[in-house]
Amino acid sequence: MSTAAERSATEAPPILRVEGLNARIAGQQVVEDVSFTVPATGITALLGRNGVGKTSTIKAIIGLIDRAGVVELAGERIEKEATFKIIQRGVGYVPEDREVFSELTVAENLRLAERDAAPRRQLVEELFPDLLARSGQMAGTLSGGQQQMVSLARALLNTNKILLVDEPTKGLAPKIVGEVAETLAEAARTVPILLVEQNLHVVRQLAEGVVVLSGGRVVHTGRALDFLDDARLIQRHLGVSSDTASHGETAAEPAQKGAAL
């Protein structure tokens, strides 16, 4: 990314502002006084150990779980709105575990997601030619990777102000992980993304900023590389040395730094 892009990202008003967000599930506080912003360009990673409330934070933003606090999308308050209205404002949501409709065909899954008058079918067909070939197949019979393509395609069909993407590489083979990362990088050229991701290689490759959660609270925000290169921060907030966190792929430089520390 050019420095110009970085500068505009810091200077332009954020696309998403979360202030003092609280959410509970079944009486348990899962998001606690969370505040952060997502710049209007590029990819911001939302990180944290398992169960710290990343998914809950995203669900609270779009009202899938009860929440309180301030949520601003493009300068407008949305925290009291119904989920479908928030989405219609221009939010693309790619849930953890894909959540394709298994008893609908691939084509039906995509048609259901079309919000715009002129949905970008052609773009989706180019990005995921495989889906076109399987348009009549029940989405429940697709492989995990193919289901993730459907889930991503549903979000990319429409013009959005922001994409909320929850662990898109979860459980995918390395080759597919690469493809998903490429797709996200491509999408990020036109739409900002808030990305939950466990694979730190992917985070390094894609993200410009990071927001780190622990126990339902924000414990770190900043530039992605600063965080990824700080083995102590990674150890403290993610509980791993940075090379094991990246699924044992070729050791990246933070691993060497970690060894040095």
Give residues in contact with another protein (CB under 8 A).
Answer: 62, 64, 82-84, 87-88, 93, 95, 99, 101-104, 108, 111-113, 115, 154
Residue 99 binds which one of Mg ion, ligand ATP, another protein, none, with CB within 5 to 8 A depending on kind? another protein
| Least CB distance to another protein at residue 259 (A) | 43
| Least CB distance to another protein at residue 112 (A) | 6
> CA–CA distance from 202 to each of 116, 178, 180, 229, 255 (Å)?
30, 8, 9, 14, 15
Strand partners, 193: 43, 163
169 binds Mg ion per the rule CB under 5 A: no
Residue 112 binds which one of Mg ion, another protein, ligand ATP, none, with CB within 5 to 8 A depending on kind? another protein
In the window 92-131, what residues touch Mg ion (CB under 5 A)?
A: 96
48 binds ligand ATP per the rule CB under 6 A: yes
The answer to whether the Cα torsion of 7, 12, 17, 20 is positive or negative is: positive
Nearer to another protein, 49 or 115 (CB): 115
Q: Which stretch binds ligand ATP (CB under 6 A): 35-43, 51-59, 184-192, 234-242?
A: 51-59
CA distance 72 to 10: 17
Strand partners, 105: 138
169 binds ligand ATP per the rule CB under 6 A: no
Residue 48 binds which one of another protein, Mg ion, ligand ATP, none, with CB within 5 to 8 A depending on kind? ligand ATP
Residue from 18, 36, 40, 54 in contact with ligand ATP (CB under 6 A): 54
Q: Which stretch binds ligand ATP (CB under 6 A): 53-61, 142-150, 218-226, 247-255?
A: 53-61
Strand partners, 223: 209
Contact in structure between 258 and 231 (CB atoms under 8 Å): yes
Contact in structure between 157 and 113 (CB atoms under 8 Å): yes
| CA atoms within a 13 Å half-sphere pointing along the CA-CB vector of 237 | 23
199 binds ligand ATP per the rule CB under 6 A: no
Residue from 1, 12, 33, 51 in contact with ligand ATP (CB under 6 A): 51
* Of 139, 203, 131, 216, residue with least CA distance to 168: 203
CA distance 233 to 227: 7
247: left (phi over 0), alpha (psi -120 to 50) or beta: left
Residue from 14, 36, 43, 55 in contact with ligand ATP (CB under 6 A): 55
50 binds ligand ATP per the rule CB under 6 A: yes
144-156 vs 106-113: helix axis angle to the nearest 10? 30
Which residues are near ligand ATP by CB under 6 A? 25-26, 28, 30, 48, 50-56, 96
